[in-house]
Structure 1
Amino acid sequence: MIPFSDEELYPAVENVIEKVRPSLALDGGDIKLLGVKDGKVFVQLQGACVGCASSGNTLKYGVERQMRIDIHPEIEVINVPIGMENQWDKLANEV
C-alpha cells in the first residue's frame, strides 16, 4: 500500500513526468498527466507514441519504472486512450 495521499503524490508524479518527457520527445512523442487516484497514475501518451507498438514498453519500463524508483515501488501507471481523457476518473474505478 502506498503511504501517500493522491494529493501528496501529484507533485512527485509531475516531476517524474518532466524527467521522462525529453526521452519521449526524441522519438516525437509526449506524455500528459491526467490525474492520480488511489496510487494509480493516469497519463495519456501523445504524438508519435499514439499507436506505436513500443508504447506499452515505454509506459511500463520507462515511465512506470522511473516512478517506482523515484516515488514508491508499488505505483502503477495507466495509459488512457485518446478520446477518453475526460473520463479517466471513471476508468480509475474499473482498474
Structure 2
Amino acid sequence: MIPFSDEELMQPVRNVIDKIRPTLALDGGDIAFLGVKNGTIYVQLQGACIGCSSSGNTLKYGVERQLRMDIHPELTVINVPHGMEHQIDAL
C-alpha cells in the first residue's frame, strides 16, 4: 500500500517527470504528467515517443523505474493514449 495521498504525490511526481524529460528530449520525445488517481500515475508520452517501438520500455524501465526509486517502490505508471486524456477513469 502506498502511504501517500494522491495530492501528496503530485509535486514529487512532477519533480521526477521534470528530471526524466531531458533524456526523452534527446530522442525527440517528451512526456506530459496528467495526474494521479488511487496511487496510479497517468502520463502521456509525446513527440517521437508516439508509436515508437521502445515506448513501452521507456515507460517501464525509464519513467516507472525512476518514480519507484525516488518516491515509492509500488508506484504504477500508465501511458494514456492520445485522445483519451479526459477519459482516465475508463482506463
Counterpart-to-counterpart distance in 2, 1:70 and 1:50: 25
The equivalent of 2:87 in structure 1 is 87
Q: How many residues of Structure 1 are paired with residues of Structure 2 in the alignment?
A: 91
The equivalent of 1:28 in structure 2 is 28
Once the two structures are superposed, residues 15-72 of structure 1 have per-residue CA deviations (whole angstroms, 9 ceiling, x without a partner) of 0000000000000000000010111000000000000000000000000000000000
TM-score (norm 1): 0.93
Matches within 5 A, 1:42-61: 42-61=42-61
Give the CA RMSD over aligned residues.
0.6
The equivalent of 2:11 in structure 1 is 11
> As a proportion of its length, which structure holds more helix?
1
Counterpart-to-counterpart distance in 1, 2:49 and 2:59: 10
Counterpart-to-counterpart distance in 1, 2:72 and 2:4: 9
Q: Which contiguous aligned blocks of 4+ residues in structure 1 show a shift greater than 3 angstroms?
A: none
Counterpart-to-counterpart distance in 1, 2:35 and 2:81: 14
Equivalent position SS for 2:86? helix
TM-score (norm 2): 0.97
Structure 1 unaligned runs (5+)?
none
Kindly, what percent of the aligned residue pairs are identical?
Answer: 75
Structure 2 unaligned runs (5+)?
none
